[in-house]
Structure 1
Amino acid sequence: MSRIGILAVQGAFLEHEQVLSRLGVPYFELRQKRDLEESMDGLILPGGESTVMGKLLRELELMEPLRSRILAGLPVFGTCAGLILLAKQLAGGETTHLASMDICAVRNAYGRQLGSFAAEQEFGDFGRIPMTFIRAPYISAVSGKTEVLAQVDGRIVAAREDRQLVTAFHPELTEDLTVHRYFLDQLVASR
Structure 2
Amino acid sequence: MDQPLIGVLALQGDVREHVRALTRTGARAVPVRRPAEVDEVDGLVIPGGESTTISKLAETFELLEPIRKRIGDGMPAYGSCAGMIMLAARVLDGRPDQRGFAGIDMTVRRNAFGRQVDSFELPVLIDGMPGPAFSAVFIRAPWVEQVADGVRVLGRVAEGSAAGRIVAVRQGNLMATSFHPELTGDHRVHAYFVELVRDALAAAADRR
The answer to whether the superposition gives a TM-score over 0.5 is: yes
SS of residue in 1 equivalent to 2:199? coil
| Distance (whole Å) between structure 2 residues aligned to residue 93 and residue 46 of structure 1 | 18
Mapping of residues 73-112 of structure 1, within 5 Å:
73-92=74-93, 94=95, 95-112=98-115
Structure 2 counterpart of 1:161, from 147, 158, 171: 171
Is 1:170 matched with 2:201?
no
Cα offset for 1:22? Answer: 2.0
| Distance (whole Å) between structure 1 residues aligned to residue 94 and residue 184 of structure 2 | 33
| Distance (whole Å) between structure 2 residues aligned to residue 25 and residue 93 of structure 1 | 33
Unaligned runs of 5+ in 2: 158-162, 201-208
Cα pair distance change 1:52/1:93, threshold 3 Å: closer
Would you identify which runs of 4 or more consecutive aligned residues in structure 1 move more than 6 Å?
none
RMSD: 1.4
Q: TM-score, normalised by structure 2?
A: 0.86
Alignment-mate amino acid for residue 42 of structure 1 = G
SS of residue in 2 equivalent to 1:55? helix
Is 1:184 matched with 2:194?
yes
Mapping of residues 4-83 of structure 1, within 5 Å:
4-37=6-39, 39-83=40-84
Cα pair distance change 1:139/1:93, threshold 3 Å: same
Mapping of residues 95-174 of structure 1, within 5 Å:
95-114=98-117, 116-126=119-129, 127=131, 128-152=133-157, 153-174=163-184
| Distance (whole Å) between structure 2 residues aligned to residue 163 and residue 143 of structure 1 | 16
| Distance (whole Å) between structure 1 residues aligned to residue 75 and residue 86 of structure 2 | 15
| Distance (whole Å) between structure 2 residues aligned to residue 100 and residue 116 of structure 1 | 27
Q: Is this contact kept in 2: 1:90–1:96, CA < 8 A?
A: no
Q: Percent identity?
A: 42
Alignment-mate amino acid for residue 146 of structure 2 = A
Cα offset for 1:119? Answer: 1.2
Describe the superposition over 1:41-89 as per-residue Cα deviations: whole angstroms up to 9, x where unpaired.
1100000111010101111111011001001110000000000001000
Unaligned runs of 5+ in 1: none
Rg larger in 1 or in 2?
A: 2
Q: Is this contact kept in 2: 1:88–1:96, CA < 8 A?
A: no
| Distance (whole Å) between structure 2 residues aligned to residue 109 and residue 19 of structure 1 | 26
Q: Is this contact kept in 2: 1:108–1:135, CA < 8 A?
A: yes
Q: Is this contact kept in 1: 2:25–2:194, CA < 8 A?
A: no
Q: Is this contact kept in 1: 2:5–2:43, CA < 8 A?
A: yes
Cα offset for 1:93? Answer: 6.5
Q: Is this contact kept in 2: 1:20–1:27, CA < 8 A?
A: yes
SS of residue in 2 equivalent to 1:48? coil
Q: TM-score, normalised by structure 1?
A: 0.93
